[in-house]
Each structure stands twice: as C-alpha cells, then as structure tokens.
Structure 1
Amino acid sequence: MTKKLFAFDVDGTLLDHKYNEVPASALDTIEHLKKQGHVVGVATGRNQSQFQKALNPEDFDFVIYVNGGYLEIDGKKVYDIQFSQKQKNHLCDLFDDLDLKYGITTEHHLYSPHPMADNVQRIIKAYRVITPERKSDLRTLPVYQFSLYEGENALEVVSELEKNYSVHSLGEFAYDITIPKINKGIMLKEVAKIFNIDMKDTIAFGDGDNDRDLLKEAGIGIAMGNAVESAKKAADKLTTPSYENGVYNGVKELGYI
C-alpha cells in the first residue's frame, strides 16, 4: 500500500462542537492510520496552547498551527512565519482608527485590547477557547494571526484587507487574517516535501472557510457534513458530520479501514 499523508482540521472536524468532544471513532481512526504506516497530522487555526486543550500534539507526526503560521514536525518547529513590524503597525493603526474590535495570536497566547466585547465572547463560546488576555498595544508581540471581531459592518474593510492578506470568515461575527500567501494548503505542500510524499497521495479533512486551500491542494479533499459551503465547494468528496463519525466514515469510504 502506498504511504499516504493525512491532514485533519480540528474545530468542526476532529473536535465536534455539537457535543464538545473528539469522537472515539476519530481517535481510533488516527491510531489505525498510524499503525498502517501513513503520515498523520493536523492543520488548525489554533495556536499551540489552544490546540493542547483539545488534543495531544505528540499523537501526530506534524501539526500546522495558526492557519499555516508555523509548523512542527515530531514536536520540533520547522517553519515560523510572523507578521512584520510594518504589517503589525498597519493593521493595528487601521483597526484603532476605525474603532474595530480585534486581537492577535502568538505562539501560546491570545491578546486583545477589548477581550470582553460581544463578538469576542461569541467566538469564545462557539469554539470553546480561552478568553484573550487584555493588552492595549499589540505591536511589540510576535504575531502569527490577527482576528477581526466584526460582522457586516466591516465588509468594506475586509474587502480591502483581502488585497494584501489572507482572510477567512469565522461566520457572521469574525475573521482570521494571516500573512499573504500563508494558509493551510501552502503548508501542506511543505509537509509533503519534508516527508517525500507526492501531493496526489495527500488526503485532507476540513469544515471551515479556512480549510478551503487545504481541501483544494490535497490530492483528495474531504469536507465534513457540517462544513460551510465554501469548504464543500473546495472539496472532492463529502462525508458525514463530525458528530456522526465523519472522520471514520470518510477514511473508511476511501478504503483505509
């Protein structure tokens, strides 16, 4: 059997938000794939500390953090791509001038000048992650990702941001902003090179808008039944929702179980 590389998103894919758990069937599937000799990893929008609240990084061959901001293989950092000082100044000035709620992600922490804002708390509740620490000046920190906690009122700003950054919707009330041309799909290519696996032998599972590139670039992209429309359109196949053993069913349909 040809060795494959499997990349799984976390929130809404491995981690089921309906019951707030990783189904036993998903964990068993990961263990089964590893025993078969395949490369198994994760591609998440979370940083390291957020990820560790859901899963153990030692259970995976690689972890793509913060939508492609940095990569670890066997627990060692391989890629580290941060916002430049100029980019940080630009975004902080823009959001401050327009009085928009925002925050940033570092390797281990989340920070925001306004952590208790309504949309920030909506994200905390939806994804069950930690509340950002309050910090007024974010320019001095090592930033992997900005988050804009706004809805339709910020569509014009988002449209402008998309000209210079990678922007992913988190639903009706927030956006993730990463460095231009940095996303899960691009980092998947780097992982495949490191493990000497052809891209046609890569398989990815995802459900969110930030999984579009991951699903497009993979040899086979599989969207969860609970995926947003943009992820479904980017995928080659559709499996059942995460809370209905979607990971297990998707892998089984491909013939690896």
Structure 2
Amino acid sequence: MRQIILDTETTGLRVEDGNRILEIAAVEMVNRKLSPPDRHLHRYINPGRDSEEGALNVHGLTTSFLADKPKFADIAQEFIEFVRDAELIIHNAPFDVGFLNMELGKLGLGKITDYVSGIIDTLKEAKELFPGKRNNLDALCDRYEVDRSARTLHGALIDCELLSEVYLCMTRGQDSLLMDFVAADDAGSAQEAALGLAKVARGPLRVRAATAAELAEHAAYLDGLDKAVKGSCLWRTLEPKPEAAA
C-alpha cells in the first residue's frame, strides 16, 4: 500500500482571496514504512505574489527567497506523477485540497481526487479519537511524544515528517494485520493467509464470575450514580429484574 503524507504552505489562509501555494512536500510511505529521502518530493514555488503578514510569520518564506523558484505550472506534472494512485494523508485536508484544486484548476488539470486513490484527514480522525481536545499537529506530537524540537517555523517537509510519525502512532493497531497481508506474494496467497488466521485453534471462552465483594462494590458505585442523577442511572435500567417468587 502506497501512501503519501502531504503538506503545503501558502501565501494566506483563504484561497478565495487569491492566495497561492508557495511550498509543497510529499513524503512516501509504503506498507507503513517511510521511503528513503530520495523518494520524497519537496519543492518551493514562486507564487507570483507576496504572502500575507500572518502567513509570513508562520512559514518565514519571503518573496525574495521565492523569486527564483519555479511556478506551480512548472512542477505540476511532476507532482501529479508522484502522487498518482497513492492514498494521501493530510492534516486538515480541506485546506490543502482546496489550494491544490485551485492550482490544478488554473492549469486545466482537474482536481487532486482525479489522480489519487483516496484522502485521509488526520485532523478529522484525531477529533474522533480525542473529542474536545486540541488536535493540531503540535498537540498531537506532544500527546504521542513525537519530538518536534526542530520545528521552529511551519515548513511543509518537516510537518510531513512529523505527521508521518503521528499517523503511525494513531493507527498502530493496524500494524499486525497489515504485516500478515503484505507477507503474501499475491492476492490468492493473501486470502489464504487471512483464512489461516481464522483457523487458529481457540479454546472455550472462560467466564469469570464476580466475587461477592466485587458485586457489593459495584452496587455501592451504582447507588452513588443514582444519588447524582436523583433517580435511577442507566446501568440500573439495564440490570435484569429479579424474578418474582412462585
């Protein structure tokens, strides 16, 4: 499975205001393993306009630095071929996708979804995993103990590298399943490998009954919940009602 961790830096936040992409990075990952740096794509782009002050403070890429860099039109085909048929992994995907669609549209090249197999938004996934918490890239790096000490300014390449580590941490439960499948040489043997997992012998399910002390502790906890809600808590309604004496 080929995936591309992608990030862009832009001259401003709103594509509707005529802002453009000025940096793009795409880091390749195959079967959940990062490819060597020579299999990554990183380009600075002359956007043909100045950055808004707020954006410049974030990425630090000045108009003079970008003056001799290629236009997006000059790297468009290279970019398309690099991401073709891969699955994109983007943090806050609607932002980057909106700018990519604008740049491609100006060249009559359609939309980014015309070239890739799918798009994963790690911000959306993080919000589902950690509702109500900060889920920007810095917060996720701190949560998963990913070293971000080298990130003094936002940069597309370093953000891709950090996001790749965060994504692997967020989805680490997929590792063993994926390894079982990629070890197979073709679709037939992959299916056999999957069926082989299902044939592993399993003993009868053991059910351990709660002790009297555990039942008493549970009942006391439910009494506390009843008091808090001034009635019967949900667990009380789910408990089986005692059978009436004959």
TM exceeding 0.5: no
TM-score by length of 1: 0.30
Larger proportion of helix: 2
Larger proportion of strand: 1
